[in-house]
Amino acid sequence: MHQRLIASDPKNGVIASTTYTGSGGSTVTNLPGVAGLTLAADSSTLYAAVPNSHVIIAYSTTTYAETGRITLGDRIYPRDVVVAGGRLWFSYDDGGASGNFGSIDPASSAVTLHSFTGISPYYGAPLIAANPGAPNLIALSDGSGTSGSRVVVYDVSAGSEQKIVEKSIDGLSYLRDLALSADGSQVVVGGAGGALQLSSTDLSTVGSYLNTVGYAVDTAPDGRVAVATRTEIGTPDLYTYDAGSTTARQAFDMPGSTLFNHPGPDQVMVNGIVWQPNGPRLFVVTDNNGLIGFRALNEPVATTITLTTPTSAARAASLTIAGTITGSLPAGTALTVTRTDMESTSGKALADVTTDASGNFTVTDAPPAGGKVTYTVRYAGDATHLGATATATVTVSRATPALTLNRNGTVNAYGATVAMTAHLGSTYTNRTVEIWADPAGTDQGNKLLKKGVVDSSGNLTANLTLTRNTTVTAVFTGDARYAPLSVKSTVYTNVSVSTAVSGYYKTSSGYYYYRKTTNPVFTTTMTPNAGRKQKLIFEYYASGTWRAWKSYMLPLSSTGKSTYTLTGTHSTGVKYRVRAAYIAGTSGDSLNYTTYGAYRYFTFTN
């Protein structure tokens, strides 16, 4: 609330506060061994754990005057303190090897030394962590003076601890620092073996940051993580990470001191890093052979570009894209703009745009090509801001070309070869047409008959031999100014069908003559297909017209043959006729157009 950096000096028993820039401040003295500090939820009160006095003291963050103190008892040495669940929670030891934790009701100052709820005692004071963003959780772990790696997460919403999970973390020991993320979903812990990000629900590992000792860790309100180790001069020893990432965003090297008798590197102290709330700065406490220093590191601010575009636009007409970039950049910041379209597939640089004081900018363009046009706006970044990129796509109109295909709806003989001609009208650069043929049925796929540039009259012709009904498609794939288009023609195809007669004794005037004691045999030959049937239709002539007599659906053999013998008592002097037919949808399939064969005329005599 007051933008102050507050630190404790256990060796000299001092609390010191200063501004973020290091100017001015306040001190509180006579606090032997003062260690852990925390702020109340509203930042109005500072709580300090003073182990050698066995108390936790409250101070006003406005005046730094003492406003209260809670005495814990002669065997209680508080080492750290946090605020969660409406209470103060503190870790402590008994001045020896045993450690535990407790809580304080701020309203009554009542102290509760808590049980371990089923977990073993700590050796020394445990590490304890909380976060204002997750006010009902605390996390504890074995302390830095022990080889243990146990981490425990508690729900403290009810004013007492309810254990969520407890686990010893493989690969870590001698834990140095502990932090809880703002959303409460993760615990970050550092120690011998590195630094790990753990799920707060089951303490499974969700991220690994270092393969050396992690001396200090902290999490920012936006999920960023900072992890520190110790290295020689010239090698980074503090890293920052974006939320959810284990790839370092920034790496910082703590330089060595130039003061006499302090020639070594500055080393980040245990629990020695803290984020500025919602800000770019990371505050670091360093130690160089007893020379304590404070540093404020500026991590570049993340920037985000947002673009608002029309959903569609006319080709060659002016369009406007409104944009905003975050990060409090100065007015006049330059952003690059690239347009990618059908004519500039690798991108074409447009004029840079500049921001106003609020980060707003406008891109104006008249796209020469239609189709999907993508605008990419980039900010390169600088020493204090990360770069950013955003893209937006506009659908730009194209003219509809004239495209036709002949023979639609025509009925053709089986085996006929027809010329399929596509005609293409005016276009911009593309004069290529494709002609595809897709025969009826699922056993023959769509196939390309011809692809080529149309002639000077705009025509492209492909020959097609027909055995089935066929959908023929002419395709124009479009260009920068004319839209893609396809047109279809359905070309129908008859089957081949004929009927032969046998058993007659003569022919005359187109009739086959049979003795009335003879049974005529009719053999139909039809284009075969699995499961196909022919319809054999009989008629007789009476009162000056042909009348239906009988019909049969007869299966075809695999070679397309079907034989029928007309039995029974045959009447003499009656004229008959018969023909075979393929009826689409009735004869077992719909691959061809309904086809009737030629009539065969016959009669019976004595």
pLDDT greater than 80 at residue 145:
no
Whether residue 62 contacts residue 2, with contact meaning beta carbons closer than 8 Å, is answered with yes
pLDDT, residue 258, reads: 56
Tokens describing residue 558? 């695999």
Is 277 exposed, middle or buried (CB count within 10 Å of its CB: 0-12, 13-18, 19+)? middle
Mean pLDDT computed over 302-317: 94
- Model confidence pLDDT, tens digit, residues 184-210: 999 999 999 999 999 999 999 999 998
Q: Which band of pLDDT confidence, cut at 50, 70 and 90, is reported for residue 117?
A: low
Query: Quick one: pLDDT at residue 188?
Result: 97
Q: What average pLDDT does this structure show over 372-381? A: 96
Q: What is the sign, positive or negative, of the torsion defined by CA atoms of 414, 416, 422, 423?
A: negative
Q: What is the average pLDDT score of the chain? A: 93
Q: What is the pLDDT of residues 6-52, one digit of tens each?
A: 999 999 999 999 988 777 788 999 999 999 999 999 999 999 999 99
Alpha carbon distance 284, 273 (integer Å): 5
Work out the number of other CB atoms within 10 angstroms of the CB of residue 321: 21
pLDDT greater than 70 at residue 452? yes
CB atoms within 10 A of CB 105: 14
Q: For the chain, state the CA radius of gyration.
A: 45
Query: How many distinct helices (H) and strands (E) make up the chain?
Result: 0, 53
SS3 at position 37: strand
pLDDT, one tens digit per residue, over 48-99 is 999 999 999 999 999 999 999 999 999 999 999 999 999 999 999 988 778 8
Has residue 119 got a pLDDT over 60?
Answer: no
The distance of Cα 159 from the centroid of its chain, to the nearest Å, equals 41
Report the pLDDT averaged over residues 476-483.
97
* Over residues 494-519, mean pLDDT: 97
pLDDT, one tens digit per residue, over 250-274 is 888 887 765 555 567 788 999 999 9
* DSSP per-residue letters across 536-547: EEEEEEETTEEE
Which of 140-149, 451-460, 495-504 has the weakest average pLDDT?
Answer: 140-149
Distance CA 211, CA 157 (A): 35
What pLDDT score does 242 carry? 87
Q: What pLDDT was estimated at residue 277?
A: 82
- Identify the weakest region by mean pLDDT among 165-174, 216-225, 272-281, 550-559: 272-281
- Report the relative pairing of strands 459-465 and 388-396 from DSSP bridges: unpaired
Judged by DSSP in three states, 497 sits in strand
Nearest to 140 by CA among 113, 179, 105, 114: 179
Residue 116 has pLDDT above 70, yes or no: no
**Comparison of pLDDT for 59 and 290, the residue scoring more:** 59
Report, as an integer, the average pLDDT of 514-531. Answer: 97
Query: Strand 485-493 vs strand 411-412: parallel, antiparallel, or unpaired?
Result: parallel
Give the Cα separation of 512 and 605 in Å (integer): 11
Residues 6+ apart with CB under 8 A from 38: 46, 47, 81, 82, 83, 88, 130
Q: pTM for the complete prediction?
A: 0.59
Q: Return the C-alpha torsion angle 508, 514, 520, 521, nearest 10.
A: -40
Would you give the DSSP letter of residue 109? T
Say yes or no to pLDDT of 353 above 90. yes
Beta-strand relationship, 150-155 and 137-141: antiparallel
What pLDDT, on a 0 to 100 scale, did the predictor assign at position 120?
65
Measure the CA–CA gap between 235 and 581, rounded to whole angstroms: 91
Q: What mean pLDDT comes out for the span 310-328?
A: 95
- pLDDT at position 118, please? 56
State which amino acid sits at residue 569.
T
Q: Which burial class, exposed, middle or buried, applies to 442 when counting CB atoms under 10 A from its CB (0-12, 13-18, 19+)?
A: exposed
pLDDT given for residue 62 in this prediction? 93
